[in-house]
A and B are shown apart, each in its own frame.
Chain A
Amino acid sequence: AQTVTQSQPEMSVQEAETVTLSCTYDTSENNYYLFWYKQPPSRQMILVIRQEAYKQQNATENRFSVNFQKAAKSFSLKISDSQLGDTAMYFCAFMKRASGTYKYIFGTGTRLKVLA
């Protein structure tokens, strides 16, 4: 069975600094997707970034980038030039296609606070 582990329950970073959130996962699958979702105080789950496992190149979305290490089963999120609006809960998620649908496993989240 797949598992997703986020070992940092809480983190803080100064505004304009860079922070890295960790995520490790366990799977025997070769084809899958990995995601980072942001959940601000508004409660909305917002997709931040997506990585296909078959792609070696790390995904980037503006200030957000990932370090995907497939052999190590590691998928960290780097936020550059942190902004106050980045304060949120961040969830790492694993997804694979199975039985005609998409099966997701979520980590327990990292609460990030950006300090002014």
Chain B
Amino acid sequence: NAGVTQTPKFQVLKTGQSMTLQCAQDMNHNSMYWYRQDPGMGLRLIYYSASEGTTDKGEVPNGYNVSRLNKREFSLRLESAAPSQTSVYFCASSEERGIFGQGTRLTVV
């Protein structure tokens, strides 16, 4: 089925460890996004990419980096994980409607 695939679904990290969340879409969308979801705070934008080769900061970019590898793929990297980064992370892509991946539940201990 067409859509957005993100991996992994669950991850536990120790403070200071690094990891990359992967995201791929097969809808030929130009725009892709990374959000985090915390209780009572809705979805907050971390980074977005308007097209291949471009990335921009969103509302809460500190502690994260991104790569738009090609039109399909947009990855999110945590270089040195902190407990404050415990959250659910969503990748999304969009033309005139936003389509979301299944989410990654990340716990930093």
A interface with B by C-beta (< 8 Å): 33, 35, 37, 43-47, 50, 91, 93, 95, 99-102, 104, 106-109
Contact = CB atoms under 8 A, between A and B. Distances in A.
A25 B66 CA distance: 30
A46 B98 CA distance: 9
Given A43-B105, A99-B50, A101-B50, A106 B100 contact: no
Contact of B97 (A35, A43, A99, A100): A35
Given A108-B40, A108-B41, A109-B42, A43 B94 contact: no
Interface residues of B, number: 25
A contact patch SS: strand
B contact patch SS: strand
Contacts of B98: 35, 47, 93, 95, 102, 104
A12 to B, nearest CB: 19
A101 B105 CA distance: 27
